[in-house]
Amino acid sequence: MILLWGRSDDAPLAMLRDELLERDCLFFHIDEETARSLRFVPRASPAEGCIVMDNIVVDLADIHACYLRPDARWVELADADEIKRRQHFQYALCAWADVTPALVLNRPAAMWSNQSKPFQSLVAREAGFLTPHTLITTDPQAVRDFIEQHGRVIYKSISSVRSIVSELTLDDPRIDAVHEAPVQLQAYVEGVDHRVHVVGEQVFACRIGSAKADYRYDHSATLNEVELPAPIKDRCLRLAQLLGLSLTGIDLRRTPKGEWVCFEANPSPGYSYYQQHAGLPIVVGIAQLLQTGGSLGTTQPNSYMKMGV
């Protein structure tokens, strides 16, 4: 049986749920929004246990694959005891997801790399990708020097906190304020954005046409399916493997010189947007992977854990 964990109105989860229904797959869906009660009942080892949702009991031994996009909206619940119970349910199920032999998209421990974008870029370099020249600084003069060196510079959050990628220019009055807190700058990379979804051993890629620095905020962006060169495909698979992610959305940009620059790998990608706009059968790949299990569904630590960190 397949376990789905997330909200019904979350587009990627809803799309996967429909695909599994279409395929007549047996799945159990935990929707924290609609569940009246959720309990994790431990058993003989951390890899075992039962989920009790309302009146339904599911033995986790029957789960051979799962897809996780949990939501923490329950923190808005009024009942403090229920919040505590939900927290413990989430902790316990995440711990189970980290050690179960089932295929997990993705193991919670593997998702952590996304919390530090520059750290993830080090892993991308390990996978063979070029990454943008990056400066994290609290020095206004270093900011000015960096802008003068590269001409066009963008700034964005260091952590996974979502930020709108924007250009920074020498006349920006905020430059003098960087001495109060670190800011991450990157040399602007000219080129065409590509989004690559790695699903197990499958790679789905699309090219994005946008005039904005951050296409996610461009409603007129165009997305078209493309076939990646084999070495780039291999690097994407390698990056997913290093990060321990069986499912990931990798942001690449192809420069006019034909170089491929990696920006980040999203461990919980909103793939539905790319499926809808580029016609990529990503959900089919995910459903197939969940149905059959995959080579990354092991209990081994992520490769990047061995990078001396």
Which one of 109, 213, 237, 284 is in contact with another protein (CB under 8 A)?
Answer: 109
Q: Which stretch binds another protein (CB under 8 A): 13-21, 112-120, 166-174, 283-291?
A: 112-120
Q: Which stretch binds another protein (CB under 8 A): 24-32, 60-68, 157-165, 206-214?
A: 157-165
User: Least distance in Å: CB of 146 to another protein?
Assistant: 9
Residues of this chain, 49-68, that bind another protein according to CB under 8 A: 49
Decide: is 112 part of the binding site for another protein (CB under 8 A): yes
CA distance 100 to 61: 9
Which one of 117, 194, 195, 235 is in contact with another protein (CB under 8 A)?
Answer: 117
By the 8 A CB rule, do 186 and 168 touch? no
Decide: is 91 part of the binding site for another protein (CB under 8 A): yes
User: Least distance in Å: CB of 158 to another protein?
Assistant: 4
Decide: is 94 part of the binding site for another protein (CB under 8 A): yes
Q: What count of residues does the chain have?
A: 309
CA distance 194 to 192: 7
By the 8 A CB rule, do 106 and 267 touch? yes
Q: Alpha helix (H) ranges present in the chain?
A: 11-22, 80-99, 117-126, 140-150, 230-243, 271-278, 282-292
Decide: is 158 part of the binding site for another protein (CB under 8 A): yes
Residue labelled with tokens 């974008």: 117
Partner residues linked to 41 by β-bridges: 50
With CB under 8 A, what is the number of residues at the site for another protein? 52
3-state secondary structure of 32: coil
By the 8 A CB rule, do 89 and 75 touch? no
Which one of 23, 150, 152, 179 is in contact with another protein (CB under 8 A)?
Answer: 179
Decide: is 138 part of the binding site for another protein (CB under 8 A): yes
Which one of 8, 37, 116, 222 is in contact with another protein (CB under 8 A)?
Answer: 116
Decide: is 122 part of the binding site for another protein (CB under 8 A): yes
User: Least distance in Å: CB of 161 to another protein?
Assistant: 6
Strand (E) or helix (H) holding 49: strand 49-53
CA distance 115 to 306: 18
Residue type at 173?
P
Which one of 37, 79, 88, 292 is in contact with another protein (CB under 8 A)?
Answer: 88
Residue 227 CB-half CA count within 13 A: 1
Which one of 25, 58, 71, 133 is in contact with another protein (CB under 8 A)?
Answer: 133
Q: Which stretch binds another protein (CB under 8 A): 53-61, 80-88, 199-207, 242-250?
A: 80-88
Residue labelled with tokens 């711990």: 95
Nearer to another protein, 54 or 145 (CB): 145
By the 8 A CB rule, do 199 and 285 touch? yes
* DSSP at 211: S
User: Least distance in Å: CB of 34 to another protein?
Assistant: 22
Decide: is 47 part of the binding site for another protein (CB under 8 A): yes
Residue labelled with tokens 């998209």: 105
Q: Which residues bind another protein (CB under 8 A)?
A: 42-47, 49, 84-85, 88, 91-92, 94-96, 98-99, 109, 112, 115-119, 121-122, 125, 131, 133-140, 142, 157-161, 179-182, 299, 301, 305, 307-309
